[in-house]
Amino acid sequence: MFISTPTKPGNKTHILVVPFPAQGHMIPLIDFIHHLSTLTPTTTITILTTPKNLHLLTPLLTTTNNNIIPLILPFPATSSASTPEHVQGLPPNAVRQFIPTLSLLLPSLRLWFESHPSPPTLIISDFFAGWMHRFAIEMGIKRVVFSPSGGFMLSLMYSLWTNMPKKRNDDVQEDDVVLFRDVPNCPKYPWRQLSYMYRSYVEGDADSEFIKKCFIDDMASWGLVVNSFDGLERVYLDHLMDVLGHDRVWAVGPLLSPRGIDSRGGSSAVDLDFISGWLDTCGDIKVVYVSFGTQALLSTRQTEVVAEALEASGIRFIWSVRDPLPTAGDDSVLHGFEDRVACRGMVIKGWAPQVAILKHKAIGTFFTHCGWNSILEGLIAGVGMLAWPMGADQYANATLIVDQLKVGVRVCEGPETVPDPNSLARIIAESVNGDILDRKLIEKLHADCLEAVSENGSSSKALAQLVNKLTE
């Protein structure tokens, strides 16, 4: 059974949206659909979800636009016991299993599609839902891929799945280097820093082959929407057009919430006015904001080192942590940490209004795990970045901002690495008081961000061109 509302009479365009239910994927897609629904108020947008993931769509369903309709499809009862019924706060090691799991909705989706009085004329789906390409062909309509990651990372992914270098079956070593000769600037990475999705591929394994087919089908789809912009990744966007063999690649980023700067992704654990009032007492670009996203979880020792470095740096800071700081014994730096730094530091336990914090003039540096959403939020806020990539697309994102764009400094790498607290304290201090960050380059990229999303900017034009294509 499915739950949805019929398309409004008279509509000529009906778009089906298939998200991937992970926070880093949902947030930019929700923002994109908001913009799309605003620009196409007579177009019906149906967005697929499962019963226990329906809450993730709340920002969409509470919008003033009423052309967005949820399609709620439960997973079939025949799913195996090892298959998750739904995903909330998707852990990194569950993504691989959930890609084929999500495709179990296909039979119900097909039934809904065939019985709908005005079925979709186009599909937009996350790049982890590559199986929608063949479904679109079956239904005789076009499919557009939505990439929550940037063009550089996407170029690396397409290269991996096209050329298949050093498969896990080949007894590859963690430090073996993979060179991407077909990607601009010939980037190279040790095996351990490649996409986990690719590193886990085993020839002949059903899930591995399914995931490979998804990425190949992404490349065969009719169009591609990327959460990026010309001033950031023009060389890689052009490269993607060459790889895909067409120019239907639209860079529409940075995708930020049209609902207000304090509402992106969730409700703040601390009142925004209180945070802003505290920041108002600080000097311009003198505060470091620390956050490692929704998926990365620091070990107790890593947490201790970050705390020790923040305390030793003498710098004002805001530190957003997913959970309360670990229980600390008398010999741990965490014991009494918040009391000792209370005059110059704030620890937010839970969701922080990151976009609003970064945009405050007091923030000078963003200490980040280099998730793509965080990168774009940092760039549009005009802050420098301290990079600690830990997995997924984060190594590629760090390469882009540190090595290519020169607007960040790499301070650590890897999910298990423990940085030296003294070195980390020095870098934190120098990021606001020294010259390790090039503020002129940071300001230039910040200006490019603002230009891209201005009325006549490249991303605004790309979005308008996309809307024209979708509603033809």
pLDDT tens column, 247-261 = 999 999 999 776 554
List the structure tokens of 2: 């499915």
- 42 CB-contact burial (10 Å; exposed 0-12 / middle 13-18 / buried 19+): exposed
Catalytic residue set:
25, 126
Query: What is the pLDDT at residue 341?
Result: 87
d(CA 47, CA 28): 14
Tell me, letter by letter, the H, E, C secondary structure of the chain.
Answer: CCECCCCCCCCCCEEEEECCCCHHHHHHHHHHHHHHHHHCCCCEEEEEECHHHHHHHHHHHCCCCCCEEEEECCCCCCCCCCCCCCCCCCCHHHHHHHHHHHHHHHHHHHHHHHHCCCCCCEEEEECCCCCHHHHHHHHCCEEEEEECCCHHHHHHHHHHHHHCCCCHHHCCCCCCEEECCCCCCCCEEEHHHCCHHHHCCCCCCHHHHHHHHHHHHHHHCCEEEECCCHHHHHHHHHHHHHHHCCCCEEECCCCCCCCCCCCCCCCCCCCHHHHHHHHHCCCCCCEEEEECCCCCCCCHHHHHHHHHHHHHHCCEEEEEECCCCCCCCCCCCCCCHHHHCCCCEEEEECCCCHHHHHHCCCEEEEEECCCHHHHHHHHHHCCEEEECCCCCCHHHHHHHHHHHCCCEEECCCCCCCCCCHHHHHHHHHHHHHCCCCCHHHHHHHHHHHHHHCCCCCHHHHHHHHHHHHHCC
List the structure tokens of 387: 């990079």
Q: How far is CA 185 from CA 141, 233, 454, in A?
A: 36, 12, 29
d(CA 472, CA 467): 8
Can you tell me which residue has the tokens 């963003």? Answer: 366
Q: Which residues of 323-346 are buried (b: 16+ CB within 10 A; e: fewer)?
A: eebbebeeebbbeebeeebeebbb
Query: What is the pLDDT at residue 272?
Result: 86
Angle at alpha carbon of residue 288, lines to 307 and 350, rounded to 5°: 65
DSSP assignment, residue 31?
H
List the structure tokens of 112: 């809904």
Tell me which H or E stretch contains 387.
strand 384-387
Query: What is the pLDDT at residue 351?
Result: 79
User: What is the model's pTM?
Assistant: 0.89
Query: What is the pLDDT at residue 10?
Result: 46
Residues of the chain with pLDDT under 50: 1-11, 78-92, 261-262
Question: What mean pLDDT, rounded, does the chain reach?
Answer: 87
Query: Is CATH 3.65.10.10 correct for 14-256+454-470?
Result: no
CATH architecture assigned to 272-450 = 3-Layer(aba) Sandwich (3.40)
Q: Where are the domains of the chain?
A: 14-256+454-470, 272-450
pLDDT tens column, 338-374 = 888 888 999 988 778 899 999 999 999 999 999 999 9
Does 14-256+454-470 match 272-450 in CATH topology? yes
d(CA 365, CA 173): 36
- Is residue 291 within 8 Å of residue 322, measured between CB atoms? no
pLDDT tens column, 209-239 = 999 999 999 999 999 999 999 999 999 999 9
